[in-house]
Amino acid sequence: MATQADAQELAALRALSARIGSNPHLTQAAGGNTSLKAGDTLWIKASGTWLKDALSDDIMVPVAMVPLIEAVERRDPAADKPQAFAIGALNPRGLRPSIETTVHALMPQRVVLHVHCVDTISLAVQADCEIKAARRLEGVEWAYVPYRRPGLPLAQGIAERLRPGVDVLILGNHGLVVAAETVTDAERLLHRVRSLLARTARTAANADAAALTALAGDSSGYRLPADVEAHAAALDADSRRMAEAGSLYPDHVIFLGRSSVVARPGEHVADVIARLGVKPAAILFPGVGVLMRGDASTGADAMQRCLADVTARIDITARLNYLTAAENDELINWDAEQYRQKLNAAG
């Protein structure tokens, strides 16, 4: 840490990170990340760590920012492995910087917050997101960045859209970035943008836990989700239709796999597994609720709830952009994500 002012600001950022990480409408599991620029060093959340642990655990990694930005400008594949730019002497635990480090490095402001805000995502998955967001974000200096895989492709997408003065990015099929010179101003901007993008969620009926337990049977190992809110994706017919039609954002694919599995009328868990030939991380039972595979990670539970929270906020007439088959594949086969998932499972 270069100066005492930087140290104070990093402490403030850790406190804000813990607040953001504790709000499932802003981040889920190891998603989202925060950063502070101190001279030429970028302090960024480590890959696979959870923002909610920012006060109790050392989750911030120092990265040499100038060579990283130069690598993005050269389109050097090294920029896709930000661990190569971590400052070893200040990183005794050998943590890997977030996959999304380049997003933070490219924003010129000192403090950057990247969140998977459900209000933002519910807009960012819509085909006319840019037009709808423009109506809501009047007076905000913002830019829309169409979907790219996080890492170097997303960094290049941001570089193409970034204009001087922009301090808010809406990342298509992904989330929100806000940036400011201080932690206080960044938090204020986050809440301002979030309230401008806020959407009312459709309410769903209650899940039928007894019926779900019967559908799981004695030997499937399937269980109820960690959050009761997760059931809404199976209970609300429109949410279910949106979920079944494809993958809407990267962390869904990474933690739950492609799209969502919906049981057919009369099917129990064993029937669904027999039909698919695999055990999906989650199964949606129309009008009844959701069951999770017994070994599904806490990250999978967080993302199942996120799906319900996002789809409940999407207008039922909206046209949606789904990730393509190739985009799903590049997430599933992505080495950096496999690392993040492994840490998540261990944690």
Positions in the binding site for Zn ion (CB under 5 A): 175
SS3 236: coil
CB of 54 to Zn ion, least distance (A): 16
Of the candidates 155, 171, 149, the one whose C-alpha atom is nearest the C-alpha of residue 253 is 149
C-beta closer to Zn ion: residue 255 or 285 = 255
CB of 220 to Zn ion, least distance (A): 33
Of the candidates 144, 135, 200, 148, the one whose C-alpha atom is nearest the C-alpha of residue 168 is 144
Residue 164 has φ and ψ, to the nearest 5°, of: -55, 135
C-beta closer to Zn ion: residue 129 or 204 = 129
CB of 251 to Zn ion, least distance (A): 7
Any bridge partners for residue 169, and if so which? 143, 177
Buried b (16+ CB within 10 A) or exposed e, 88-122: eeebeeebbbbbbbbbbbbbebbbbbbbbbbbbbb
Supply 19's token pair.
């607040």
CB of 100 to Zn ion, least distance (A): 5
C-beta closer to Zn ion: residue 252 or 293 = 252
Three-state secondary structure string covering 163-181: CCCCCEEEECCCEEEEEEC
Chain mean position to CA 132: 21
**Of all residues in this chain, which one has the CB nearest to Zn ion in the complex?**
175
C-beta closer to Zn ion: residue 62 or 175 = 175
SS3 38: strand
CB of 134 to Zn ion, least distance (A): 22
R_g of the chain computed on alpha carbons: 20
SS3 33: strand
C-beta closer to Zn ion: residue 243 or 306 = 306
C-beta closer to Zn ion: residue 169 or 283 = 169
C-beta closer to Zn ion: residue 21 or 175 = 175
CB of 109 to Zn ion, least distance (A): 18
CB of 7 to Zn ion, least distance (A): 27
CB of 41 to Zn ion, least distance (A): 22
C-beta closer to Zn ion: residue 97 or 175 = 175
Strands 289-292 and 41-45: unpaired
Whether 170 and 115 have beta carbons less than 8 Å apart is answered as: no
